[in-house]
Amino acid sequence: MPWAEQSAQSFGITIEDYLLPTHGRIQLISPEGALLPVEEQGSTPGHEYPMPDHETLLNAYRQLVIGRRVNDQNHALVRQGRMAVYPSSHGQEASEVAAALCLDARDWLFPTYRDTVAVLARGVAPLDVMTSFRGDWHCGYDPIEHRTAAQSTPLTTQLLHAVGLAQAARLKGEDTVVLGMVGDGGTSEGDFHEALNFAAVFKLPVIFFVQNNKYAISVPIAKQTAAPSIAHKAVGYGVAGERVDGNDLAALLAVLGRAVSLCREGGGPFLVEADTYRMQAHTNADDATRYRHDEEVAEWQHKDPLKRMRSYLTEANVLNDDVETEITEAAENVARGLREAMSVQPELHPLELFDHVYTVQTPQLAAQRAQLAEELEREGAGS
């Protein structure tokens, strides 16, 4: 029996009900921080998700606070001219943190340029993550050591790499789960469809995690797709899709956690769409006021993932002033480290730009390298 039918049967539902996302989306905690009654969680048969335990939530909340602080610190460093570019995930931190924490050390994460907070939550040192955004080096960490690919700027290429890695891991007999991150705009790329189809046909343990933050730079989601939701796209490939409140850390951990378990047991791939919002401009090169209204941003302010989790954990007596102070101090330490490191000018070697692009350099690159070497020498001679 095909694997999806088997999973559907284990939940006591039809294959269609298994592959299609729940009606609406999964949400466990209200924007005010209250645990929602089961009938308001958006769950339908086979799409029920238990609440993660307090220890898991507190650990994730800590990453959320650090992630928000790093987002805001980096935003400031760019404005001060100390960093080249920073695509902030302010407002999306719950999705970022959950993407990393649902995985084990043996798994692999494939992030985009927006997913710095996920890479941090995966355990990569903050300064190493920021190296590429400063323009100092292609990638500041060792992808193999952290089982976290370099953050991808070419849209959606990372999903093909994610699928390829999952296939390779299977051939090696490993039980690795791979999570590939992508934005709403990225789902319009051919690579998205190819990656999903390949993963589905070969039943690979890949989670396609789409952060639908409503915009691809200035292009709104309504101009991106006519599908009822991005999660609905999964069914066309025979992949199970789920839609989750992307600002609800508890719901994200529950949905992604189950997707990881099912993938590990051979029930993958999965597509999870997080319903979230980009609170700041696309990058420092973008003026968001030119294509969206303040009222829309204010509406999402109300759904802030951090405030929601803080309220819930405080009400549950898991978080108190002492714990909150300790977490805030940890976040401040990370921010201070970033500020100090970005105030020092590293000595860079421009010619290194050409290294590691290809194993064997193309004649064109060799010529460009020679040209730059000559220009640098001339400059040096003149100074």
Ligand X SMILES: Cc1ncc(C[n+]2csc(CCOP(=O)(O)OP(=O)(O)O)c2C)c(N)n1
Which listed option, Mg ion, ligand X, none, makes contact with residue 154 (CB within 5 to 8 Å by class)?
Answer: ligand X
Q: How many CB atoms lie within 10 A of CB 77?
A: 22
Binding at 163: pick from ligand X, Mg ion, none (beta carbon under 5-8 Å per type)? none
**Per rule CB under 6 A, is residue 215 in the interface with ligand X?**
yes
Partner residues linked to 108 by β-bridges: 178
Candidates 21, 180, 183, 268; binder of ligand X (CB under 6 A) is 183
> Which residue in the set 158, 176, 213, 247 belongs to the binding site for Mg ion (CB under 5 A)?
213
Rounded least distance, CB 300 to ligand X, Å: 14
Q: Give the active site residue among 291, 302, 336, 378.
A: 291
Nearest-approach distance from CB 114 to ligand X, in angstroms: 4
Per the annotation, the verdict on 278 as an active-site residue is yes
Residue 154 and residue 7: Cα distance in Å, rounded? 34
Residue 267 binds: one of Mg ion, ligand X, none (C-beta under 5 to 8 A by kind): none
Nearer to ligand X, 74 or 213 (CB): 213
134 an active-site residue?
Answer: no
Q: How far apart are CA 205 and CA 169, in angstroms?
A: 10
Residue 365 contact partner, candidates ligand X, Mg ion, none, CB within 5 to 8 A by sort of partner: none
**Cis peptide bond prior to 269, omega within 30° of 0:** yes
Footprint of ligand X on 88-147 (CB under 6 A): 114
| Closer residue to ligand X in complex, CB, 25/258 | 25
Instruction: Judge whether 64 and 94 are in contact, CB under 8 Å.
Output: yes
Residue 142 CB, nearest approach to ligand X (Å): 24
CA 100, CA 229: separation in Å to the nearest integer? 24
The 8-class DSSP code of residue 230 comes to S
The sheet carrying 108-110 orders its strands as 108-110, 178-183, 206-212, 270-275, 240-245
What φ, ψ does residue 152 adopt, rounded to 5°? -90, 130
Residue 112 within binding range of Mg ion, rule CB under 5 A:
no
The angle that helices 93-101 and 249-264 make with each other, rounded to 10 degrees, is 30
Q: Residues in the site for ligand X, rule: CB under 6 A?
A: 114, 153-155, 183-186, 213, 215-217, 278, 282
Which residues carry out catalysis?
278, 282, 291
Q: Residues in the site for Mg ion, rule: CB under 5 A?
A: 183-184, 213, 216
